[in-house]
Structure 1
Amino acid sequence: MRSVRKTNRQHSSPPPRWPVYRHVIFDCDSTLTRIEGIDELASHPDTRQRIADLTRSAMEGKVHLETVYGERLEILRPTRGAVRALRSRYRKHVVKDAAALIQALKVLGHEVYIVSGGLFDPVREFGLHLGVAAEHIRAVEVEYDTLSGSWWQDQDPWREEYLAVQHSVLTESDGKAQIIRELLQNQTGRSLLVGDGVSDLLAGREVDLFVGFGGVIGRDRVASESKVFIQSQSIAPVLLLAAGTTALEHSGDAGVQALAGKAHALIQSAALRWNEVRLAEKFAACFGARATIGSERDL
């Protein structure tokens, strides 16, 4: 492992400029919020562990997501009300600086998206809470059984139990790639994706830069195969990766500048690990920041 720092040597050519990634796409669970929504639906400790194990296996790429997605919900059979309650849990466990990051990106003119394998209702509400436009949020919708429980007594619809997952490619390991491709179709400008799981890593081929996030859970494959990996609990470093030097230098917004300063300090403390030397050197030269290069065994 070694670090690359900006040198003081003079060059005749203009200083390098970090590119602007106009389209910034986030995963939700374990990226913008510190929880895994479906795992939170389990009330009994034994069931919770079983569900968490299935989720972990899928997120680490040990099994295909499509083999466990429906299985988890069949085990849990959550009510509509229980799924709705995830809204407040997402907000309670928001990742450090996530709200400020999305606000800063919007100030700088970026298009912000959430593409998640989580459940649509809580993911959508959480995204709106953070300031993401409704039309830029994608997640998995489910159907509820209107004949469950004491249906003949005109029961509260929030007690309706899970029936089935509506068909969605987001329940598949490689499904995010298709959704991102559709979102970016006919769009101009570079794109960046931030996520913690292997499904995010696989979708990285549809964007110009994939950023692995390990601030909640560090997954070995994501850490070793992403071009750059964030290992701080704060997601603030995404601002420098996405906005580029030009946008930051020309922004008079106090919130943007404050978050940029925090991101720079985190990066100087080795918040980023790079797996691509060329990008690491360019980043260090552009921002005068530390760019730590780590091999797979270092991560």
Structure 2
Amino acid sequence: MSAQEFAPGLVIQRFTPPLKLTDFKLIAFDMDSTLINIECVDEIADAAGRKAEVAAITEAAMRGEIADYKESLRRRVTLLKGVPVSAMQQVLDQRLQLNPGAEELVRACKAVGMKVLLVSGGFTFFTDRVRDCLGIDFTRSNVLEVQDGELTGRMVDQPWGDICDGEEKRKMFLATCAQLGIKPSQGIAMGDGANDLPMMGEAGLSVAYHAKPKVREQAMVAINTGGLDRLLEVVR
């Protein structure tokens, strides 16, 4: 079916609502600008006086204008060299907030037995806190290297690889489905940037949240106004 505005600020494409939440067993979220209100790397860069420079790279990457996400992230992390861990703690304490409807949507999903996955091109310093706050079951994100209480400008390789980019998000989504013994079509994937498209393309339901144009165009549902819990208007 062609795109239609199901309700103000809620665009439906390629399927007829409503679906049942019980049709799904997993929901996967991006973190920065999806589950939370900020791009953490940009806010860390603010402490180094480099927010404008880093934010410009982030915006281009999220719009899909930079083909190599890993290289774009390495460039941004290099610019964080020398930022104290205390500055990251300030971002966590003073700037990071869950986006509207995050708690409500996660609660509704868990109430019907769904598992929750957080996959982020961001950093464990923040994903671990969001995981604990929302009771998220699985996470994958990047580790910033720290020496003497300061960022080195590098990331730490992990057993699964070096950087959680779009392809790694896709792999983690599929691996989590396999671990749960479900089909990818029984999963929902929500994101806002181009690096979310690979996992969104595997999911039974893909949802763009206040997303970049390229992501809105390819998602089955686009939430353009209001909170994350607006998905519950479509999937009940």
Q: TM-score, normalised by structure 2?
A: 0.81
Q: In structure 1, what residue type is equivalent to 2:63? A: E
Which deviates the most, 68-77 or 43-52?
Answer: 43-52
Report the Cα offset of residue 2 of structure 1.
5.3
Which deviates the most, 137-146 or 190-199?
Answer: 137-146
Q: Which of 213, 229, 234 is the matching residue for 2:227?
A: 234
SS in structure 2 opposite 1:35?
coil
Q: In structure 2, what residue type is equivalent to 1:141? A: V
Q: Which of 66, 72, 76 is the matching residue for 1:68?
A: 72
Partner deviation per Cα, 1:123-172 (whole Å, 9 max, x = no partner): 11122112213xx12111122224xxxxxxxxxxxx23335212345443
Matched, 1:109 2:113: yes
- Percent identity of paired positions between Structure 1 and Structure 2: 22
Distance 1:69 1:3, change over 3 A: closer
More strand by share: 2
Q: Matches of 1:44 and 1:26 in 2, distance apart?
A: 27
Matched, 1:162 2:164: no
Q: Matches of 1:59 and 1:169 in 2, distance apart?
A: 19
Q: TM-score, normalised by structure 1?
A: 0.65
Which deviates the most, 48-57 or 92-101?
Answer: 92-101
Q: In structure 1, what residue type is equivalent to 2:182? A: T
Matched, 1:40 2:43: yes
Q: In structure 1, what residue type is equivalent to 2:191? A: G
Q: Which of 124, 130, 141 is the matching residue for 1:126?
A: 130
Contact 1:66 1:173 in 2 (8 A): no
Q: Number of residue pairs matched? A: 215
Contact 1:69 1:171 in 2 (8 A): no
Q: Matches of 2:182 and 2:216 in 1, distance apart?
A: 29
Q: Matches of 1:227 and 1:17 in 2, distance apart?
A: 13
Instruction: Name which one, 1 or 2, has greater alpha-carbon Rg.
Output: 1
SS in structure 2 opposite 1:93?
coil
Distance 1:24 1:169, change over 3 A: farther
Report the Cα offset of residue 73 of structure 1.
1.3
Partner deviation per Cα, 1:28-55 (whole Å, 9 max, x = no partner): 1100111000100123696111100010
Aligned residue number for residue 140 of structure 2: 138
Aligned residue number for residue 25 of structure 2: 22
Partner deviation per Cα, 1:191-223 (whole Å, 9 max, x = no partner): 010000111112222221111111xxx311011
Q: In structure 1, what residue type is equivalent to 2:19? A: W
Q: Matches of 1:52 and 1:163 in 2, distance apart?
A: 16
Aligned counterparts, 1:217-296, within 5 A: 218-242=211-235, 244=236
Distance 1:239 1:162, change over 3 A: farther
Distance 1:17 1:80, change over 3 A: closer
Contact 1:196 1:212 in 2 (8 A): yes
Aligned residue number for residue 185 of structure 1: 178
Contact 2:48 2:80 in 1 (8 A): no
Aligned residue number for residue 95 of structure 1: 99
Aligned residue number for residue 256 of structure 1: none
Aligned residue number for residue 87 of structure 2: 82
Q: Matches of 1:56 and 1:34 in 2, distance apart?
A: 15
Q: Matches of 2:150 and 2:91 in 1, distance apart?
A: 16
Q: In structure 2, what residue type is equivalent to 1:222? A: V
